[in-house]
Amino acid sequence: MKPQPFKKYIVIFILFALPITAYVFFASGVNNFAKLPTLTPSVHGLEKFTLQDGSPVQLKDNITVLGFFGKNPLQQKVGAYNLAHKIYKKNHEFKDFQIVFLLPEEAEQTSQELKQRLAEIAATDQWKFAFGPSEEIKNVFSSLESNFSLDENLATPYVFIIDKDQNLRGRKDDEDVGVLYGYDSREIAEINNKMSDDIKVVLAEYRLALKKNNAKREI
């Protein structure tokens, strides 16, 4: 028995039209909606900071999770473990991604103890503890223009997403707090859901831009 014309059209739609419709939907979503707002432009640079071996560290041309763990980083180990498992482990192989914590010089020994523990989760080549003057830590933090503050030990559990142009990225209409400047590293749900999603968006932006640039070169 020959199939009825109506059924033919259904089969044709499923085989051809539906995949095309889905492609257009997801493509438009990436181009039009996958943008994480800039909250603060031109975050202060890290010229006054160095790594333990004396080498420089910079925000420019890197996608950075920036944090401030103060004079005793081990007190912030819960947040560090959350970031290591839910953010760093997933993204550290992306060559322009890094996690940077700014610390006063007296925190050098305890930071290395924490880094050794983090190395059990993933290689720490892109996890950086940078040391500098206390006043300069305050200057960088102040340049974020967030609604958070450092405690007396120059620490905060909140971490921030900085893009390659040294802009603070975040949410302007978060369902819980409105403007979301930073993410509470102690809260595993916030790191695993909000921050992880926002990091993906920023990485996707640069991957898309890179593809477009490569396509233009090939034309």
Task: Please tell me whether residues 143 and 47 are part of one structural domain.
Answer: yes
Task: Please tell me whether residues 111 and 18 are part of one structural domain.
Answer: no
Query: Does position 25 have pLDDT exceeding 50, yes or no?
Result: no
What does the alpha-carbon distance between residue 184 and residue 34 come to, in Å, rounded to a whole number? 22
More confident residue, 95 or 166: 166
Task: Please tell me whether residues 134 and 174 are part of one structural domain.
Answer: yes
Task: Please tell me whether residues 11 and 81 are part of one structural domain.
Answer: no
CATH of residue 150: 3.40.30.10
Range of the domain at 168: 38-218
Task: Please tell me whether residues 20 and 43 are part of one structural domain.
Answer: no
What does the alpha-carbon distance between residue 60 and residue 35 come to, in Å, rounded to a whole number? 19
Per-residue confidence (pLDDT) for residue 35, from 0 to 100: 86
Q: Give the whole-number percent of the chain exceeding pLDDT 90.
A: 77
Task: Please tell me whether residues 5 and 103 are part of one structural domain.
Answer: no
Round the average pLDDT of the chain to a whole number and report it.
87
Task: Please tell me whether residues 29 and 55 are part of one structural domain.
Answer: no
Number of domains into which the chain is organized: 2
What does the alpha-carbon distance between residue 112 and residue 73 come to, in Å, rounded to a whole number? 9
Q: Can you give the pTM of this predicted structure?
A: 0.82
What does the alpha-carbon distance between residue 129 and residue 112 come to, in Å, rounded to a whole number? 8
Task: Please tell me whether residues 24 and 115 are part of one structural domain.
Answer: no
Radius of gyration of the chain (CA): 22
Band (5; pLDDT cuts 50, 70, 90): low
Task: Please tell me whether residues 43 and 25 are part of one structural domain.
Answer: no
Q: Across residues 117-125, what is the average pLDDT?
A: 94
More confident residue, 31 or 8: 8
More confident residue, 20 or 185: 185
- Strand 38-40 relative to strand 63-69, pairing: unpaired
Task: Please tell me whether residues 92 and 169 are part of one structural domain.
Answer: yes
Task: Please tell me whether residues 68 and 168 are part of one structural domain.
Answer: yes
What does the alpha-carbon distance between residue 175 and residue 158 come to, in Å, rounded to a whole number? 18
Task: Please tell me whether residues 43 and 29 are part of one structural domain.
Answer: no
Residues 78-103: tens digit of each pLDDT: 999 999 999 999 999 998 999 999 99
